[in-house]
Amino acid sequence: MTRPDPARYRTNNWKSYNEALKRRGSLLIWLDKDMTWLAPKAGGNGRPPVFSDASVQFCLMVKVLFGLPLRQTTGMVASILSMAGLDWPVPDFSTLSRRQKRITVQISNRRASGPLNLLVDSTGIKFLGDGEWLARKHGTQRRRQYRKVHLAMDTATGDIRAVEFTSSDKGDSPVLPLLLDQIPADEQIGTVTGDGAFDTRRCHSAILERGGTAIIPIRKNGRRWRENCPAARARNEILKATQRLGRAVWKRWSGYHARSRIEAKMRCLKSFGERIASRDPDRQTAEVQIRVALMNRFNALGTAEIERVA
């Protein structure tokens, strides 16, 4: 039996994608001189904030992008404003640390025409513990601690549309409804693709409530559910198709292998660092959201359009 030829792929927009890759490495930082840098007066009790959320998010994005501590971040932001000819004040490191705990990060994204097709997955990210080299050399001194990042990605644009940050003992299936709640109610959901961890009644029900179709493989020990709800009937249809076609054929037929794109997006998330610097859960959540905002900004510059030719 001869071995089949390997698949070949072609990039259709290589010229524009090449320019996008060069722009990602550009050191140009665009500042809108009309942006609200100082916080408007709220008129409430207590001392009003000096800096707006937009200015704090800008500083935190510089911190995460260049991997700087807070004090070095303030120095770099001051240099950027000076080179831009702006005499705006710069928040000090204690202000950034305090505001990071309660800031609402604005994550930009693009909306493609047609229903929204989502890819969902999760990954662990370290925030405490010895590094790999130190553990091999001297043994582990303290237990490593992880958090979990749950993402939902749009297959058409490649943007992250929803993000949740939980403890390491939190499963994937309880978080899926929270991810779907972040999608605007007026936006139609087409398909939701996830691995076998989402093969639960809770996930199938949440997807059907948003009018979507689940592309979730049946667990290897999965059995037929009692059809007492629409979610059970939809899940049993996947089971019937898997038994009739076979697991491998069903994955190709349903387009399940597109889920590899969200796994690649997890690698992009960790390109900002294998661990997060913050220790407080609220600050950790803001740091992860800042990473997602940066990923969407880079992605908006241009992505590759790849098709299979053989």
- Across the 310 residues of the chain, what is the mean pLDDT of every consecutive 10-residue run? 72 88 83 85 75 94 93 95 91 94 92 92 81 61 80 94 92 94 94 94 94 92 88 93 92 91 91 86 93 93 79
Q: For residues 127 and 158, give the distance between their C-alpha atoms in angstroms, rounded to a whole number.
A: 27
CATH value of 116-279 in 3.30.420, 1.20.950, 1.10.10, 3.30.1490: 3.30.420
Burial code of 269-292, b = ≥16 C-beta within 10 A, e = fewer? beebeeebebeeeebbbbbbbbbb
Give the separation between CA 30 and CA 238, rounded to whole angstroms.
Answer: 49
Q: What is the pTM of this model?
A: 0.87
Angle between helices 281-300 and 53-66 (to 10 degrees): 80
User: What pLDDT was estimated at residue 139?
Assistant: 63
Alpha-carbon gap, residue 198 to 262, rounded angstroms = 15
Nearest-10 Cα torsion for 121, 127, 129, 135: 50
Distance CA 257, CA 91 (A): 46
**Residue ranges covered by each domain of the chain:** 9-101, 116-279
pLDDT of residue 133: 58
Contact 11, 303 (CB under 8 A): no
Phi/psi region, residue 214 (left: phi>0; alpha: psi -120 to 50; beta: rest), is beta
Cβ-in-10-Å burial (0-12, 13-18, 19+) of 164 comes to buried
Structure tokens at 298: 């880079």
Tokens of 236: 């049993």
Q: Which amino acid is at 107?
A: I
What is the per-residue DSSP string for the chain? Answer: -PPPPPP-EEETTHHHHHHHHHHHT-------TTS--BPPP---SSPPPSB-HHHHHHHHHHHHHHT--HHHHHHHHHHHHHHTT-------HHHHHHHHTT----------SSPEEEEEEEEEEEEES--HHHHHHH--SS--EEEEEEEEEETTT--EEEEEEEETT--STTTHHHHHHTS-TTSPEEEEE--GGG-SHHHHHHHHHTT-EEE-PPPTT--PPP-SSHHHHHHHHHHHHHHHH-HHHHHHHHTGGGGHHHHHHHHHHHTT-SB-S--SHHHHHHHHHHHHHHHHHHHHT----EEE--
| Confidence at residue 302, expressed as pLDDT on a 0 to 100 scale | 84
Q: Which two tokens stand for residue 181?
A: 């709640």
